[in-house]
């Protein structure tokens, strides 16, 4: 596997040379390293575990990928915008807990809780962004703080309101079934049961790609991540763009949180810790630069897919799942090396 | 004030009293700064600066490192606000709160650090912050084809023929990036173009190219503020020269009233040369160099218009 994720053959680009051919153009895309890795990984697991390529197995892989991928969309955009969010893992759970506790405590329709959770998720994103802009602290510190605070709030408030480490069951509330249909149902296509999150994931990736490449806001996201002083100097609303990105991450967290809640009927308050790294890893494997200004939503999706394949593929190959984290680390290392080469090339004549 | 001073200051009094520019006789200046100062707490970054900018004129701001040039342009470009004095745009007193506000008033700055995002394609940089869109409502999208086409054309007019406007701008040479930034400002209808040390990092030939663009911008009727520490670059293109030193104005001249030699002498500072001569003498042994420095110091003394401060 390691030999497959190689650097694109870096052509020494000179502005006076003739047009690059389509192959070179493809090689210059941010997600190319991840794409090569994904194909290699797929071929690898398909050969060692024949069951891996069966439709049902693939649906399972896609489902696993989608639960990472939904968040990876927001996190990728944020990283292209030059920031991190370490609070995403627990923010997903905060959102689910808000919906569960609110509608249970006031015995309201489940949809009311869903609405309140959306407001809270967007507010968490807004506050992260606002503190970042006002204090000019690195996002690592700001979101590390919110990660810790949310972790504590999740545990403390769940116990204070519901009296347990897990949120009370909301299965009997009005609106639960319809909310479950929206957030956690399955759609059967050709005899294969596909979880609805897969479709949300694809939709989010499509919307994010469109925003990123074909709208003003997308241009601003690249600019604030690439050089926020330069962006400010030419009139880009840097503050709004950054806060908006954190809120977009909040929205993704809300969507995944609602899925987690309605897939069952309760949420464990201590969950989610550590997941923030999975989202960041997916974005980085997908070609987003840690320093911002470069990457793609599709790349993040491929990163999530690689993650899903490695996660489930090891099970289908009947290996010890202990190896999973090792693979993840290796892929992360290789992907960042590829990204580094890309960045050096782009900066070559700076 | 010494009698041998050949250069004459533009009288700020007349300039400000009847609002007539001695060069163009236009009733109102495009931009005018009157005794503008900037204090950061107890740090005085800039004080008592008076200057004017007009259509089709190049106002050069000269000064060594730390003279306050950057502070001055940041005030004009809306990055900082001045704390004292008045700043008027087209006769209207203003205090700019953001670069966007400055842009909306027709003031565009091309910074030393270029204000381009090096990882982004050239066409995206060209239109950054002023993107063209097509379509309505949620389907409003970037008009990519048109932006690429305009970028290519505008740069071609500036003498850069690019095959691919899709390449990251970081791959262009310093002079070319400079020109992209100038072309961008001109295209977006800037009335005042501020160029912060555009030739500082460039070779002789590239500097010449950039100076040509300055004249081109001037001929299109823009008011240009050209910041530099090189009098040899400033003199050929400038119409007026503001000299800054340690945060204050040490002279404001019309081109007809000053020669390149005088400008250089003003900037070099006779006192510093005399000091250097003294130091060489102390060390001893450098007779050759000592003679040179002394001669130069003497020449500077003879040439220099007296330093004067308008109060």
Beta bridge partners of B142: B133
d(CA A287, CA A303): 8
Distance CA B87, CA B226 (A): 18
Q: Which residues of A touch B111 (CB under 8 A)?
A: 230, 233
pLDDT tens, position by position, A257-295? 999 999 988 899 988 998 999 999 999 888 888 888 888
What is the per-residue pLDDT for A248? 96
> How close A190 gets to chain B, by Cα (Å)?
33
Query: A183-233 pLDDT, tens per residue?
Result: 999 999 888 899 999 999 999 999 999 999 999 999 999 999 988 888 887
Taking 70 as the threshold, does the pLDDT of residue A160 lie above it? yes
Each residue of B216-238: pLDDT tens digit? 888 878 888 998 888 888 888 89
User: Locate tokens 């040509």: which residue?
Assistant: B212
Global model pTM greater than 0.90 = no
A254: number of Cβ within 10 Å: 26
Residue A301, pLDDT score = 94
Top residue of A25, A235, A288, A343 to mutate, by most chain B CBs within 10 Å, is A235
pLDDT reported for residue B291: 75
Q: Is the pLDDT of residue B297 over 80?
A: no
pLDDT value of position B270: 58
Q: What are the pLDDT digits (tens) for B131-190?
A: 888 888 777 888 888 999 898 888 887 777 777 888 888 888 777 787 788 888 878 878
| Mean pLDDT confidence for B199-211 | 78
pLDDT in the model for residue B16: 41
DSSP state of B218: H
* pLDDT attached to residue A276: 92
Two structure tokens written together for A300: 């993040």
What residue ranges define each of the domains in chain A, with the CATH number in brackets? Answer: 48-344 (1.10.3470)
Interface test with B, best of A233, A289, A346 (most B CBs within 10 A): A233
- Measured between alpha carbons, how far is A26 from A187 in angstroms, rounded to an integer? 34
User: How far apart, in whole angstroms, are the C-alpha atoms of residue B243 and residue B48?
Assistant: 12
- Give the C-alpha separation, A203 to B15, whole Å: 63
Produce one character per residue of A265-277: b if its CB has 16 or more CB atoms within 10 Å, e if not.
bbbbbebbeebbe
- From the number of C-beta atoms within 10 Å of its C-beta (0-12, 13-18, 19+), residue B252 rates as buried
Residues A208, A99: contact at Cβ < 8 Å?
no
Q: Does domain B1-106+190-267 have CATH number 3.40.50.2000?
A: no
Instruction: Quote the minimal CA–CA distance from B115 to chain A in Å.
Output: 4
Question: Which residues lie closer than 8 Å to B178 by C-beta, 6 or more apart?
Answer: B110, B114, B198, B202, B210, B213
Which position has the higher pLDDT, A234 or A131? A131
Task: Evaluate if residue A9 carries a pLDDT over 60.
Answer: no
Chain A CB contacts of B98 below 8 Å: 235
Helix (H, G, I), strand (E, B) or coil at A189: strand
Length of chain A: 350
Question: How many Cβ contacts (< 8 angstroms) between chains A and B?
Answer: 106
Contact B227, B196 (CB under 8 A): yes
pLDDT band at A13 (very low <50, low <70, confident <90, very high): very low
Which ipTM did the prediction report? 0.76
Mutate to test the interface with A, among B121, B128, B160 (most CBs of A within 10 A): B128
């Amino acid at each position: 596997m390691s030999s497959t994720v190689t650097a694109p053959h870096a052509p020494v680009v000179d502005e006076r040379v003739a047009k690059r051919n389509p192959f070179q153009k493809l090689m210059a895309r941010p997600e190319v390293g991840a794409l090569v890795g994904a194909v290699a990984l797929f071929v690898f697991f398909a050969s060692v575990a024949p069951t891996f390529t069966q439709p049902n197995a693939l649906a399972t892989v896609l489902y696993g990928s989608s639960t990472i991928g939904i968040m990876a969309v927001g996190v990728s955009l944020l990283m292209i915008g030059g920031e991190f969010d370490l609070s995403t893992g627990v923010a997903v759970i905060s959102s689910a807990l808000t919906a569960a506790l609110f509608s249970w405590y006031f015995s309201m329709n489940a949809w009311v809780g869903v609405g309140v959770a959306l407001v809270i998720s967007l507010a968490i994103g807004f506050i992260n962004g606002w503190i970042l802009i006002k204090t000019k602290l690195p996002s690592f510190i700001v979101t590390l703080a919110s990660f810790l605070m949310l972790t504590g709030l999740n545990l403390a408030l769940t116990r204070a309101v519901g009296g347990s480490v897990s949120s009370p069951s909301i299965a009997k509330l009005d609106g639960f079934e319809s909310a479950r249909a929206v957030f956690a149902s399955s759609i059967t296509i050709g005899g294969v049961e596909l979880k609805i999150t897969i479709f949300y994931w694809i939709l989010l990736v499509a919307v994010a790609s469109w925003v990123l490449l074909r709208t003003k806001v997308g241009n601003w996201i690249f600019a604030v991540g690439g050089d926020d002083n330069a962006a400010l100097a030419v009139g880009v609303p840097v503050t709004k763009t950054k806060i908006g990105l954190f809120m977009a991450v909040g929205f993704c967290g809300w969507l995944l949180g609602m899925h987690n809640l309605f897939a069952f009927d309760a949420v464990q308050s201590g969950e989610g810790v550590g997941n923030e790294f999975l989202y960041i890893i997916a974005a980085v494997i997908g070609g987003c630069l840690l320093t911002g200004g470069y990457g793609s939503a599709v790349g993040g999706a491929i990163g999530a897919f690689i993650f899903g394949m490695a996660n489930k593929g090891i099970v289908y190959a009947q290996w010890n799942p202990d190896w999973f984290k090792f693979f993840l680390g290796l892929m992360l290392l290789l992907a960042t090396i590829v990204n580094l080469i890309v960045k050096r090339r782009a900066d070559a004549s700076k | 004030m010494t009698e041998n001073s050949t250069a004459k200051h533009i009288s700020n009094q007349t300039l400000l009293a009847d609002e007539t520019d001695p060069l163009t006789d236009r009733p109102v200046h495009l931009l005018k700064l009157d005794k503008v100062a900037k204090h950061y707490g107890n740090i005085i970054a800039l004080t008592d600066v008076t200057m004017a900018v007009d259509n089709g004129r190049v106002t050069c701001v000269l000064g060594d490192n730390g003279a306050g040039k950057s502070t001055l342009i940041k005030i004009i470009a809306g990055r900082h606000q001045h704390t004292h004095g008045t700043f008027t745009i087209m006769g209207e007193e203003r205090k700019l709160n953001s670069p966007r506000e400055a842009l909306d008033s027709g003031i565009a700055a091309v910074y030393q650090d270029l204000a381009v995002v090096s990882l982004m394609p050239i066409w995206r940089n060209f239109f950054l912050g002023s993107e063209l869109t097509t379509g309505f409502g949620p389907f409003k999208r970037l008009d990519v084809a048109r932006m690429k086409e305009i970028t290519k054309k505008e740069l071609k007019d500036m003498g850069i023929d690019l095959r691919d406007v899709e390449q990251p701008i970081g791959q262009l040479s310093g002079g070319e990036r400079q020109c992209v930034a100038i072309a961008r400002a001109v295209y977006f209808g800037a009335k005042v173009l501020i160029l912060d040390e555009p030739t500082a990092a460039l070779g002789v030939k590239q500097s010449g190219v950039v100076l040509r663009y300055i004249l081109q911008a001037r001929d299109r009727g823009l008011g240009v503020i050209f910041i530099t520490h090189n009098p040899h670059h400033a003199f050929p293109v400038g119409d007026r020269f503001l000299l800054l030193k340690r945060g204050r104005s040490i002279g404001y001249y019309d081109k007809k009233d000053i020669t390149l030699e005088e400008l250089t002498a003003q900037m070099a500072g006779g006192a510093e040369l005399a000091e250097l001569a003294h130091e060489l003498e102390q060390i001893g042994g450098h007779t050759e160099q000592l003679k040179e420095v002394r001669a130069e110091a003497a020449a500077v003394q003879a040439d220099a218009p007296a330093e004067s401060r308008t109060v």
